Chains A and B, each alone.
Chain A
Amino acid sequence: MKRFQDLVLGLHDYWRGQGCALVDPYDVEKGAGTFNPATFFGVLGPRPWRVAYVEPSRRPADGRYGENPIRFGKHHQYQVILKPPPAEIQDLYLQSLEEVGIELRSHDVKFSHDDWESPTLGAWGVGWQVWLDALEITQFTYFQQMGGVDLNPVAVELTYGLERIAMVLQGKESALDLVWADGVHYRDIWQEKERQFSIYHFEQASVDRARAMFDLAEAEAKACLGAGLVFPAYDHTLRCSHLFNTLDARGALATAERESYIARVRALARQCAELYSASLEHDAQSPR
C-alpha cells in the first residue's frame, strides 16, 4: 500500500524528472501553496521556472475540530509550477497520477471548469478542478495575473490535494484513517492539533489582539516596502493574510469590513509584486 509519505516521494520523483527544483514548504503560515514565494515571485518575470514542493496550508475556517473526514484547518498541498507551460501539460499531469499508482483506465477523470482567483493576492487564472470519480483532487490553473501584474509568459500551477489522493490510493473513507508511515496514522499526527486549532480559531482567539497584530504586520510590511526590502515585506503580507483568515474564522468581520481587510492585503501583495518586477528589469538574474 502507498503510504502518505510514499505519495509525496512519488510526486517529488516524478516532477524532479520533469526538471523541477524541489524546494521546502515556506515557514510562514499561509492559506495555499500559491502564497509560497517560490510561486508568488517565481511566476513573475520572463525567466523559465519549474518548481515543486509540499505546502501545509492553513485555512482556519475549514477546521472541524478533527471530526470531519476531509475538512481540516490545515491540509497538505503538493504544488507544481511550470513556466512557461509545455503544450502537453495535461498529459504530463495525468502521467503523474499514474506514477503514484492511480490507474486512469479504471477511473472517471474529468477536467471540470473552475477558474481560480485569489482576491487577497490579486491573482487569477483559468483552468479546472480535476475530478477523480467526482472527488476534487487537483486545482489546475493557467495563471494569468499575480499581484495585479500580467504574467508573461504565463505559468501553470498544479495543486494536488494530498489527503484526497491518498484516500483514493488507500481506499479510506476518512483522511484520519490514512497511513502516513508504517505504524503511524494521519490521526496520530494531526487530529489533536486540528481539535486545538479549531477551538483556538472559532472560540479562543482574541479578536482585539488579532486586529492589533494585523495592523502591526501591515505597518511592518509597509516599512519594508519603503526600504526596498521586498522579501521581508512579503513575509509580513503573509502574516496579514493569515491574521485576516483568523478574524474571518472567528466570525469577527462583517461583510463590508471583510472586503476592506482583503483590500489591505491585496494592496500589500500588489506592491510586493510591483517592487519585485521592477527589480527584475534592473537585474535579469534577480533572485526568486
Chain B
Amino acid sequence: MPNLLVELGVEDLPAQEAGLLAEAFRAAWVEGLRQARIAHGEVRLYWTLRRLAVLILDVADKQADLVEEVRGPTVAQGLDPAGQPTPAAQGFLRRYGASPEQLVRKKVGEKEYLFLRAETPGRPTPELVSDILGQVFRSLPCSKRMVWDDSGLAFLRPVRWIVCLWGSKALPVQLGQVRGGRETQGHRFLKPGPVTLDTGEAYVDALRAAYVLVDPEERAAAIRQAITSGEREHGVQAALDPELWARMVGSVEWPVGVLGQIPRESLQLPPPVVVAALHEEGKFLPFLRGKEIAPQFLGIAEGVGGSTVRAGYERVVSIRLRDAASFFEQDRSHRLAERVPHLKMIVQEARLGTVWDRVERIRAYSRALARALGLDEAILDRAAYLCKADLATVMVREFPELEGVMGGVYARLDGEPPAVAQAVEEHVLPTARGDELPQSPYGGALSLADKLDFVAGSIRIGEMPTGSRDPYGVRRRAAAVVRLVLEKRMRVDLFALLEAMDGLYPPAVPGATVQDVRQFLVDRLRGALVERGLTHDVVEAVLSPPRGDFLGVWERGQALSGMRGGEELVSLAVGLSRVRNITREHPGRSYDPRLFEEEAERQLFQAYQAVKASAHKAVERHDFGEALRLLLTLRPAIDRYFDEVLVMCEDGAVRANRLSFLGEISDCFLEVADLGKLVLSSKGEQGS
C-alpha cells in the first residue's frame, strides 16, 4: 500500500508554538483518516518553523465500505394492513434505491420501525485526501489567526506551498490559492528554491540534502552536541531551561552553534541579570562555572556560523549588557527604600488599588504572621515594606522575571539586614516557572503573606478561577499557600487570619466573601493532601470540621493514616459514628456523673476522665498520634456502653444527661478527626 506525504509550507511560525501545532497536525490527520474510514500504518511527524509534515505509511487504496442501518417510518405508518408499503415507506425505499424485500423490522424503545441496510462502497483514497486536508487545516488550533490574501483562509501564518504525494503521484489538493504538488523548498539561504520529491519516503533525506533537518530529533541532537562541545571546551555547564530549549529546537531548520564571549566588565553584574539578558527572547544560552557566570555564551544560528555571526552576537550581547549595567547604575542612584513611595503610581489590578496599597496589606498579614510564627516583627515588616519596591526599578521594568531577585540584590547592597534582603528576594517563590520554595523563615512568611493577599484580593473582586481558566494565576498562588504551610511547617490559623484581614479590602463583588476564599484554600489543601498520599476518606475525616491550621490537618492525616488497618480503629469508628449520630441534635454539654445509673456509664466516664486531660495536651502540642492512641483506649468502654445503656430512655433528665456526656466525648474526638468519615469496609481498609 502506498505512503502518503503531506507537507504544509508556511511562513515562519512562532518557535514555541510550532512543535505544538505539529502535534495537532498529526492528531488531526489520524482523526481525519479515521473518520474517512481509511486504514493506515505508522504516522511520522516532521516539522520546522517553516513546515508541518506527516508521512503516513501503508495507506489503504480506498476507504472501507460503509454499512449502516437506516431507520425509516414506524411499521404502523409504513405498512398497510396487507403488509404492503405505504407512500411513506415507498419514499424511504426510493431514497436508498432499495426494494420492499430489503426492509427489516426492528424495535426501538416501545415502537417497531422499518430499517434498511444501506451500503456505501468506499471511494478511492486519492479522491478524499483534498477534503481531509481542508478539514485538518481548519481544525488546527492557533493562538491567533491572521488573513493574508482574499482566499478566506485564516491561520497562524500564511500558507505558501503544499506537497501532497500519494506513492509517487502528486495529488491535486488545494488550500485557498495554494495548489499541492511535489515541490518543497530548501533552506532559505543555503539551498534556496524548490526541491522536487519523487516519493514521500524521499522526504527526510531530500531535505537534509537541502540543509533542512525536518526531524526535530535531528535538530535537538545537533543543538545538544553544540552545547556539549561548548561545555567541554571551556569546562562550564549550560544554564538551560525547558522553555529556551523548545525555542532553540523550534527556531531553526539547520542549527549551527556559535560560541561568543561576554565582555569582561559585564561579568561584574549580578549573575541573574546576565542570565536574564542572555535568555531574553530565547536568544542565547548562558553557561555557569560553579555559581559564577562563565564568560561564554552560545547562540543557535540558522544555517550559518562563522566570524561575522559571532561578532554580531557579541555586539548584541555587549550592548544589552551595557544597557543592563546602566539600569543597574540608575537603580543604585537611590536606595531601594526610596522607591517604595513610587509604588503609589503603579497599578497592577485597579480594583485593588495601587501596589502601595498591596504592600500595606502584605504588611498587615506579615505582622500577624510574625506573631503566629514567633518571628522578629521588625525584620519581617521591613522586608514586607521593601518587597515590591523593585517594581519601580528600571531593571525589573526591562526584565520582569527579575522581580524579587533585584529587590534582594539592591537591599543587600543598601546594607539592609541579610534576613530582610533574603526575604525580599524569596518572597516571589514559588514562581510560575519553578517550584523552589523560600529557604529562610522570613522569606517563607513573606511569601505566604504575598500569596494570601493575592488570592484573597482576586477572589473578592470576582476573579475566582473556573475550570481550566485562571488568567491571573490565582490557583497557582493558592497551591503555593498550601505548599508553604505544609512544607515550611507554618503553624498558623489561616481562617482567623483571613477573617482578621477582611477589612483591608474594598467591598467584595456580590457572591464573593471571605468564606469563598476559605473554601478555595481548603479545596487546594484537599488536593494537596491526596497528592501527598492520604486516602480520600482520611482527608475528609481530618477536614471535618474544616480547620484553619492546615499544618495541623496534615499532621492529623498522617497520624490517622498511621493507624489505619488496626482493628481498634475500625470498631472505635463504628462506636463513634453512633455517638455522633445520637448527639447530633443535642447541643448541651453539661452533665452530672451522679445521675449515671449503669455501671457501663460510670466505667466510660472513668476511662474518659483518665485520658481526657492528656489527650487535650497531646492535641495542643500537635501530637495527634498520641492523642489518637489515648482515645483508642476508650474503645471497650464505648462498646460496652452501647451494649448495656439505653441512651434514649424514658426519663428526660437521665436522657439529657447521657446525651450531654456523649456529646462531650464526641467533641473530644473531633479535635482530632471525624472518624465517622473513614471508609471501614475490610476492603477499604486494605485496599486504600
Q: Roughly how many angstroms separate A173 CA and B313 CA in the complex, as a whole number?
A: 12
Interface locus among A111-119, A212-220, A234-242: A111-119
Q: Roughly how many angstroms separate A105 CA and B622 CA in the complex, as a whole number?
A: 71
Q: Roughly how many angstroms separate A134 CA and B301 CA in the complex, as a whole number?
A: 9
**If the complex has contacts A85-B148, A135-B312, are A255 and B12 also in contact, measured as CB distance less than 8 A?**
no
How does the 8 Å CB contact mask read for B40-67 relative to A, with 1 for contact and 0 for none? 0000000000000000000000000000
The size of the chain B interface, using a CB distance under 8 A, is 54
Interface locus among A12-20, A63-71, A179-187: A63-71
B313 touches A254 (CB 8 A): no
| Cβ of A153 under 8 Å from chain B | yes
Residue numbers in A under 8 Å from B14 (CB-CB): 113
**If the complex has contacts A68-B323, A84-B149, A254-B346, are A133 and B302 also in contact, measured as CB distance less than 8 A?**
no
The smallest beta-carbon distance between B685 and chain A, in angstroms, is: 56
Q: Roughly how many angstroms separate A105 CA and B319 CA in the complex, as a whole number?
A: 24
A153 touches B160 (CB 8 A): no
The size of the chain A interface, using a CB distance under 8 A, is 42
| Cβ of B600 under 8 Å from chain A | no
B347 touches A255 (CB 8 A): yes
A112 touches B15 (CB 8 A): yes
A contacts with B: majority SS = mixed
How does the 8 Å CB contact mask read for A76-107 relative to B, with 1 for contact and 0 for none? 00000000110100100010000000001111
Residue numbers in A under 8 Å from B266 (CB-CB): none
Query: What total of A-B pairs shows CB separation below 8 Å?
Result: 118
CB closest chain-B residue, reference A135:
B316
Interface locus among B287-295, B303-311, B627-635, B652-660: B303-311
Residue numbers in B under 8 Å from A106 (CB-CB): 304, 306, 308-309
B146 touches A144 (CB 8 A): yes
**If the complex has contacts A107-B308, A108-B304, A154-B148, are A135 and B346 also in contact, measured as CB distance less than 8 A?**
no
| Cβ of A199 under 8 Å from chain B | no
The smallest beta-carbon distance between A252 and chain B, in angstroms, is: 9
Q: Which residues, 341 to 357 on B, are CB-close (under 8 Å) to A?
A: 344-348, 350, 354
Residue numbers in A under 8 Å from B160 (CB-CB): 87
A87 touches B312 (CB 8 A): no
The smallest beta-carbon distance between A159 and chain B, in angstroms, is: 17
Partner of B312, one of A111, A128, A132, A253: A132
B148 touches A142 (CB 8 A): yes
Residue numbers in A under 8 Å from B309 (CB-CB): 106-108, 133
| Cβ of A109 under 8 Å from chain B | yes
B12 touches A113 (CB 8 A): yes
| Cβ of B318 under 8 Å from chain A | yes
Q: Roughly how many angstroms separate A108 CA and B306 CA in the complex, as a whole number?
A: 10
| Cβ of A110 under 8 Å from chain B | yes
Residue numbers in A under 8 Å from B177 (CB-CB): 87
The smallest beta-carbon distance between B130 and chain A, in angstroms, is: 21
Q: Which residues of A contact B (CB under 8 A)?
A: 64, 68-71, 84-85, 87, 90, 94, 104-113, 115, 125-126, 128, 131-135, 142, 144, 152-154, 167-168, 173, 251, 253-256
Known A87-B158, A134-B299, A152-B150; further 20 A-B contacts with Cβ < 8 A = A68-B323, A68-B326, A84-B150, A90-B12, A105-B190, A105-B304, A108-B258, A108-B301, A108-B312, A112-B12, A112-B251, A112-B281, A115-B144, A126-B157, A133-B309, A133-B313, A142-B148, A144-B147, A251-B345, A255-B346
Q: 21 A-B contacts, Cβ less than 8 Å apart?
A: A64-B326, A68-B323, A84-B150, A87-B177, A108-B301, A108-B303, A110-B252, A111-B12, A112-B251, A112-B281, A125-B146, A126-B157, A133-B309, A135-B315, A142-B158, A144-B147, A152-B150, A173-B319, A251-B345, A254-B344, A255-B346
